[in-house]
């Protein structure tokens, strides 16, 4: 018999993640169930590239942030929105095979 854990189902299970579809990075601060988040699988079948990806992603993000100032593009139709409205708009996603941003209008300005 073959059994498998569907990571997307586990990652959106309200038993482990209250309000699972909300963007709440603070949920990973402090105590949380480490077995309920397996983006690279787990155990003997864990992704071999996990550490490479984590190191590479950290290096690229650090390089981008050190060389560029990243801001959200100002658009006239959104001039009067509150911080919460802007946050909801920028973090909006569509659920497909992976979690995909709908539209993230970012501006990268070279630092001096």
Res 94 pLDDT > 80: no
Block residue for tokens 């659920």: 95
What residues make up the domain containing 23? 1-47
Strand partners, 110: 68
Residue 20, number of CB atoms within 10 A of its CB: 14
pLDDT in tens, 28-46: 888 888 888 888 888 888 8
Is 80 a domain residue?
no
Is 7 a domain residue?
yes
Is 79 a domain residue?
no
* Residues of the binding site for heme: 47
Is 22 a domain residue?
yes
Block residue for tokens 């105590």: 31
* Residues of the binding site: 47
Is 26 a domain residue?
yes
3-class secondary structure, 107: strand
Give the C-alpha separation, 103 to 72, whole Å. Answer: 11
Query: DSSP label at 44?
Result: G
Is 52 a domain residue?
no
- pTM for the full model? 0.58
Domain count across the chain: 1
Is 29 a domain residue?
yes
The answer to whether the CB of 104 falls within 8 A of the CB of 90 is: yes
């Amino acid at each position: 018999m073959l059994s498998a854990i569907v990571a997307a189902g586990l990652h959106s299970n309200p038993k482990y993640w209250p309000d699972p579809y909300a963007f709440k990075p603070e949920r990973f601060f402090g105590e949380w169930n480490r077995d309920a988040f397996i983006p690279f699988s787990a155990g003997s079948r864990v992704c071999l590239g996990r550490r490479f990806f984590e190191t590479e992603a950290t290096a690229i993000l650090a390089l981008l942030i050190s060389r560029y100032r990243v801001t959200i593009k100002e658009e006239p139709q959104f001039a009067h929105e509150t911080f919460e409205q802007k946050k909801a708009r920028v973090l909006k996603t569509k659920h497909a095979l992976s979690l995909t941003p709908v539209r993230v209008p970012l501006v990268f300005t070279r630092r001096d």
